[in-house]
Structure 1
Amino acid sequence: MTVALHDLLPAELRRSWVVDGTCPDLDLYSLFRARQISDLHHTAVLDAKGKLCYTALDRKVRCLAAGLRDLGIREGDVVGVQLPNNRNAVIADLALAALGAVALPFPVGRGTLEAESLLRRAEAVAVIAAVEHRDVHHAADLSTLSSALPALRHVVAVGPGTAPEGTTSWSDLMRRDPTGFVPARPDPDSAARILVSSGSEAEPKMIAYSHNALAGGRGNFLASLIPDGTPPRCLFLVPLASAFGSNGTAVTLARHGGTLVLLDHFSPEAAIEAMREHEPTHVLGVPTMVRMMLERLDGTGGPLPAPTALVLGGAPLDEATAAAAAKAFGCPVVNLYGSADGVNCHTGLANTVPPTDAAGVVAGHPDPRVAEIRIADPETHAPLPDGDIGEIISRGPMTPLCYVGAPDLDARYRTPDGWVRTGDLGYLDADSVLHVVGRLKDIVIRGGANISPAEVERELRSHPQVRDVVCVGVPDPLMGERLAACVVVRGPQDPTPDTLGDHLTARGLDRCKHPERLLVVEEIPLTAAGKPDRAALRERLTESLPQARLGTPGTAPLAQAG
């Protein structure tokens, strides 16, 4: 039984975006195939193995699609994909699109417990995974789940290395004859891909997107950053299997006929080398990754080839990072505000450094060809006038169909007329520019007082001894929670709790918002999706710091972690 994926938007609204040309009204494989025919030998993928042109990629896609069809994969089936950033991930994406199946990508590094949850709730019939990646044996681990997942019929193991017992070898499937394969022609408004977002739920949220929402809505986002319409060359620092990475195969290749530059695993050194060697037009990453790259650059090796844009999303972007990146990369820095749940807004190419306000970097001007944005009362969902702070809600061509196997999430995060509730607080100014000021949930509650970690992080990043920082709440028997600052140091000397506190005071931050614990780390750990791993930092703090009383509310000093 295939999981039901229904559209929470009115059908006539979806069709209106096809009629006016906002969405292409073609499935992803048909779009890719048209790009391949128009430029047979254009480079599609640059990875550790070298170049792969559109025609060679299409042949591999058809081989895999024929092999998967022989396994019984049919239109509408959900297939998990856990592969690193390389050509095989792209081949899998397009082969599933050619079958009319629904891809469920999730990044390498996510464990079997989370994988089991995703595959079970999506009723996946198969999963494609690496035999081994960075000492983790994903295919073998996923094969052990078969007995607990009645719908899961096949685990496809991708080498190098021998396919584990009980799995199907990718190399065997790739030996099929591509000439006899006839692709499906799925409805462009049907599901093509399921994006995974951890969010704030106990289990990762899964959100179903259609072909039109990906190639149309998300495709229009990237189109706005391609001023001359030339096919882009995009360096993805984030996993293709992440929500941010969904701008890869479906958008960069199928919609825009561009080139994907892929790193098997992110490191700042590898990213810098890829920029020098491949000269991407667009670099897509999260601010933490760019801060790591800036530290490695340090004025050596000469200037980097300037891209058209450095696109940063996935976490708040601070003013200091934006300014330093614009100078080092020699191009506009684009602040992308978006999520897997269905919101997108960015600052565009008009400014080299994104504009700011009192709360930091602004989110930009909403593009109705991507997603219309309104500000609503969090309780009634009624629209609020310009300037009033409320919940950010979004609806437009990129709006997803629904949450997967979670009617409770549909009820919680979608309004009756299909608007996506983001859980973020913000306002639209008189020029209709979106300003994000915080989150309804993402706060630390210290003795009844609400503290925004993002606000404190923004001020701490302006300290000369702080290269990067993540603030998290840690449990406290007296106050409920206390705020801890996890700092990556700039320069030879560590900051002290007192110097950070003095800096925050000078920046005008209330004493009650000052972090009370300080942990110095070599680097901010990243999740499998490439975002700061707040849970890992919280766990480290909880293990290393005594749960001692630190003072009275609003006056407790910072404590140094051991």
Structure 2
Amino acid sequence: MTLDTLAPPVFLQDRLDHWAQHRPDAEAISFGEVSYTWGQWRPRILQLTEALRAAGIKRGERILTFDLNHLAIIELTYAASALGAGTVVGNYRLAPSQLSYVLTDSAPKIVFYGAELHSVLETANAETPLPRTIVIGGENDEFEAFLASGTPAGGDERTVGKTDEEVHPDDTVLVVYTSGTTGTPKGVELTHRSINMHSVVANHGLGMGPEDVSMVGMPMFHVGGSCYFQVGVYAGAKTIFLREASRPAMMQAIADGATHSFIVPAVIQAVLAGGPHAAAAFAPIKKIIYGASPMPLPLLSRTLVAWPNTELAHVFGMTEMSGIGTMLQDSDHRNPSRPEILQSVGRVLPGVEIRIADPFTHEVLPAGVNGEIQIRGGQNMKGYLNKPEATANSMTADGFLCSGDIGHMDDDGYLYMVDRLKDMIISGGENIYCPEVENALMSHPEVAEGIVMGVPDPKWTETVKAVVVRAPGSTVSETDIIAFCRERLAHYQCPTSVDFVDELPRNATGKILKRDLRAPYWSGHERNI
């Protein structure tokens, strides 16, 4: 039996049912010291479904989890989905006021939270009264007792824990809040249909099967964690689930047989910075999928040299499409006749439509012309929670999702992501795309990390500023950086000033918070891009 011969999953739990029936003794999941076979794990989720039902959770309602990666988050997502309820996966790095916003916006019926995050939740409670709370982990763990309160899964298998008949494939399963790098976070509603379709699409490129082992270290509040997790379940692969994507934890998972993982470029950089031993520990992995933020070409070159036998796959995706939609395969990475495609995010995966269009008129643009990347397919979101106007504005009349990303396609169908629409710098009427400048900046041997952004300028409206982390021991100056860029770029593209910092601010998924860096410069100005 191959994956292609199986009926496509309709509900989130369908593949759990399948593997529990056909491979009950195969290991499904390991999390720390806990591991379950498919046959062991499925009854826990059935029982948890009944515990949520007994607690009054109904179709259309929501629960919220607030913790670092924990098996309970996955189990609750499955269990709630069988009732037609959604799981809001809270970002454990939120400040109390931010958490209060999410609580108010999503209105969960129960909050399941990690014991170590009690103080954050308690402070948030002063602003937004909490519903029922249940502690996950620690000395006062309440989750296991809550799960045990459900009807035992050994009851009537026709009804216990199964997906309710009134549940629809377009019911919300996950609410994932956008990172807020460009404004107030929005709750993206992902459904049974969209998540399952993403698993089908993604695995066309990943090629996972029951013999593989998926390492999941990205946080569950990011689709690179929550929806990537589902690809492994779809494929019947064992999942090694990490509390955090620390280098030692990932090295141990690879030693334990992990074959596939999705990680962000910042993690790759950290691994390579760990020296030859750390790089060698990652060498056995079969396939590394990277995305969520740009990979500077100098770092990519180092990665290709460090792991010659590991397949690399660069992907483009977003929360609103449940994950990824394009992939640059390893054969593309190592194709000496087409070095330019290393700057692309690959080609569209089967089941996804992508076009380049004018961001205002939605007129489709020809190959090679930059415009907005727009996506259509079954993996697109249901919409933004409680924001019908924002939902409507995110879609075209013919059903394409407006990504807010600028890019173009070449004649061979390779997609090049040039910049975020809101990050593009317009200096003296010239469009400046940050990644092009950043690639030049990062090629300087004394630059460990660097970004560029637009700052106000009385003559040109805005001009380019670089923010740089020097390499260890470097004393490279502002003058040196500007001169280096001017040798490689048009004058108008080059930084006119450089700030040096010890580290760049990032969110939990590795994205650099340009909005935080820009804010002091645009304070008091009408325009803040």
TM-score, shorter chain, exceeding 0.5 = yes
Q: 1:175 aligns with which of 119, 137, 148?
A: 148
CA contact (8 A) 1:80 1:126 kept: yes
Q: 1:236 aligns with which of 199, 204, 216?
A: 216
Counterpart-to-counterpart distance in 1, 2:286 and 2:20: 24
Give the TM-score, by structure 1 length. 0.81
CA contact (8 A) 1:231 1:256 kept: no
Q: Output the amino acid matched with 2:111.
A: V
**Aligned pair in 2 of structure 1 residues 435, 172: CA closer, same or farther (>3 Å)?**
same
Counterpart-to-counterpart distance in 1, 2:145 and 2:82: 19
CA contact (8 A) 2:205 2:349 kept: no
CA contact (8 A) 2:486 2:494 kept: no
**Aligned pair in 2 of structure 1 residues 402, 240: CA closer, same or farther (>3 Å)?**
same
Q: In the alignment, what sits opposite 1:485?
A: 466
Q: Cα distance, 1:287 vs. partner?
A: 0.8
User: Is 1:38 aligned with 2:22?
Assistant: yes
Map residues 276-315 of structure 1 onto 2, 5 A cutoff: 277-298=255-276, 302=280, 304-315=282-293
User: Is 1:154 aligned with 2:132?
Assistant: yes
Counterpart-to-counterpart distance in 1, 2:339 and 2:392: 34
Q: In the alignment, what sits opposite 2:344?
A: 362
Q: Cα distance, 1:324 vs. partner?
A: 1.6
1:240-287 superposed Cα distances (whole Å, 9 cap, x missing partner):
22122232443222x112222233223334433433x22321121111
1:294-322 superposed Cα distances (whole Å, 9 cap, x missing partner):
10033568453432221111111222222
Counterpart-to-counterpart distance in 2, 1:467 and 1:112: 33
Q: In the alignment, what sits opposite 1:6?
A: none
CA contact (8 A) 1:82 1:129 kept: yes
Q: Cα distance, 1:418 vs. partner?
A: 1.6
Secondary structure (helix, strand or coil) at the match of 2:44 reads helix
Q: In the alignment, what sits opposite 2:251?
A: 272
Counterpart-to-counterpart distance in 1, 2:264 and 2:69: 16
Give the TM-score, by structure 2 length. 0.86
Map residues 31-110 of structure 1 onto 2, 5 A cutoff: 31-110=15-94
CA contact (8 A) 1:94 1:249 kept: no
Map residues 132-531 of structure 1 onto 2, 5 A cutoff: 132-133=116-117, 137-144=119-126, 146-147=128-129, 153-162=131-140, 169-176=142-149, 177-179=151-153, 180=155, 181-185=160-164, 186-198=167-179, 202-226=183-207, 229-253=209-233, 255-275=234-254, 277-298=255-276, 302=280, 304-329=282-307, 330-342=309-321, 344-353=325-334, 361-369=343-351, 371-445=352-426, 450-473=431-454, 483-514=464-495, 516-521=497-502, 523-531=503-511
**Aligned pair in 2 of structure 1 residues 143, 157: CA closer, same or farther (>3 Å)?**
farther
Q: Cα distance, 1:145 vs. partner?
A: 5.2
Counterpart-to-counterpart distance in 1, 2:427 and 2:392: 30
Q: In the alignment, what sits opposite 2:104?
A: 120
Q: Output the amino acid matched with 1:377.
A: D
CA contact (8 A) 1:444 1:451 kept: yes
**Aligned pair in 2 of structure 1 residues 454, 59: CA closer, same or farther (>3 Å)?**
same
CA contact (8 A) 1:291 1:467 kept: no
Counterpart-to-counterpart distance in 2, 1:519 and 1:309: 35
1:334-364 superposed Cα distances (whole Å, 9 cap, x missing partner):
1111111226211124334489776961021
Q: Output the amino acid matched with 1:268.
A: R
Q: Give the count of matched residue pairs.
A: 509
Secondary structure (helix, strand or coil) at the match of 1:100 reads coil
Q: Cα distance, 1:204 vs. partner?
A: 0.7
**Aligned pair in 2 of structure 1 residues 131, 536: CA closer, same or farther (>3 Å)?**
farther
Deviates more, 1:439-448 or 1:107-116: 439-448
Counterpart-to-counterpart distance in 2, 1:532 and 1:205: 19
Secondary structure (helix, strand or coil) at the match of 1:251 reads helix
Counterpart-to-counterpart distance in 2, 1:424 and 1:25: 30
Counterpart-to-counterpart distance in 2, 1:366 and 1:52: 35
Secondary structure (helix, strand or coil) at the match of 1:137 reads helix
